[in-house]
Structure 1
Amino acid sequence: MPITAQHVSDTLDAYLATYPAEKDALSVLAEVLDEAGDSIASRKEYRGHVTAGAALLRPDGRVLTIEHRALQKWLLPGGHVEDSDATLLDAALRELAEETGISPFQVEPVGDVPLHIDAHPIPANPDKGEDPHQHFDFRFLFRTTSDTVGLQETVELQEEEVTACSWQFADMLTAEPLRTRVMNATR
């Protein structure tokens, strides 16, 4: 069953219960959610739509980043939700596996509340017939459950979307408050 507006609303409410100071910053998400309803999970919703990302931590405190081919930026693994995703957490786990080849059996989520929700603009992509729009990226924290995860040979990149990967110490992340929250999780 596809992700519903109710699930997005419930997840947003749980997040804001943990991080109430972000209510104003995420007001645009709340507005689009009210207007879009269940289409908030559709990549064709150009007022904005939800995406899901994974901050994957190794035991040594490094976090996995990928170089996104289309955006030419270093990001956390993640992307659009699909109809097969029951929850935003499921979508983040699926995207992690698709983009890096890391098995869902090699990671475990750290709770079911996102570590961070980021609202950011996405430019038009004429090649895909996409207008400019907003992404509301629900980023979840995962930890590796295997000592071999994190070795370069265990990562198989989805080459049509990802050009490279790197394990960075959390202090190398530049986006706040994501950086601080990932750093706190390494302690």
Structure 2
Amino acid sequence: MTLFDDATAVLSGWEPTSEAAAVARKRTVELLGAGPVAMTRAHRPGHVTASTLIVDERRRVLLCLHGRLGLWMQVGGHCEPGDATLAAAALREATEESGIDGLRLDPVPIDVDVHAVRCAPADGQPAGESWHYDVRFVAVCPAGAVERISDESADLAWFTADALPSPLASGVVQQLAPAFARVPQM
């Protein structure tokens, strides 16, 4: 099974966690009609990405201050050729951007969000307008783990749901309820 096949299967069978996620899932399934190129930055109209909301045993979330966007958000990003599944892409990105090994990722998405971005294609062309069709997962951080800021982030910090930072990327809040609902099962 390819990454494209996995994305198609996951999103076709996924039960959305909100009305907004249902609309985004429908749009993402339609995007996948373009074929495997929709998984890559080469598809300028938009491409599938994978991100992870990391939570700890104290019900805090780890957010990064995105270095280029200046917004607090979950960790994640582009799928890479070596990613076998969307969940694998999300876990790889979460590990790279948080510096935390041993994250336990739930392979069932908690959210899907579609948003405009300025994105550079992988072929070195200049950045241009595009869309991220972001499939979002939740992962539990191992007790005692220490996060490390990656080159992509200006900061990385833990927050409770009632004390989120500003400026916050749109779509972060809609992930909280489905993430916290899933965590006890992990």
Given the two structures, how large is their TM-score scaled by the length of structure 1?
Answer: 0.82
> Take 2:183 and 2:81, find their aligned partners in 1: how far apart are those partners?
33
Q: Tell me what 1:118 maps to.
A: 113
1:6-59 deviation per Cα after TM superposition (whole angstroms, max 9, x unaligned): 2111111232x354844334332222211x200111112111101111111100
Contact 2:17 2:110 in 1 (8 A): no
Distance 1:148 1:134, change over 3 A: same
Counterparts of residues 14-163 of structure 1 (less than 5 Å) = 14-15=13-14, 17-19=15-17, 21=19, 22-34=21-33, 36-103=34-101, 106-110=102-106, 112-123=107-118, 129-145=126-142, 147-149=143-145, 154-159=146-151, 161-163=152-154
> Take 2:81 and 2:119, find their aligned partners in 1: how far apart are those partners?
23
Distance 1:163 1:11, change over 3 A: same
1:54-86 deviation per Cα after TM superposition (whole angstroms, max 9, x unaligned): 111100000100011111111101010101110
> Take 1:25 and 1:3, find their aligned partners in 2: how far apart are those partners?
19
Q: Tell me what 1:165 maps to.
A: 156
Q: Secondary structure at the match of 1:118?
A: strand
Q: CA RMSD in A?
A: 2.4
**Paired residues, number:** 175
Q: Secondary structure at the match of 2:32?
A: helix
Output the amino acid matched with 1:148. G
Cα shift at 1:172: 4.3
* Identity of matched residues, %: 29
Q: Any gaps of 5 or more consecutive residues in structure 1?
A: none
> Take 1:14 and 1:167, find their aligned partners in 2: how far apart are those partners?
32
Q: Secondary structure at the match of 2:23?
A: coil
Given the two structures, how large is their TM-score scaled by the length of structure 2?
Answer: 0.83
Where do 4+ consecutive residues of structure 1 move more than 2 Å?
Answer: 17-28, 123-128, 170-177, 182-187
Contact 1:171 1:183 in 2 (8 A): no
Output the amino acid matched with 1:13. S
Q: Secondary structure at the match of 1:23?
A: helix
Output the amino acid matched with 1:82. E
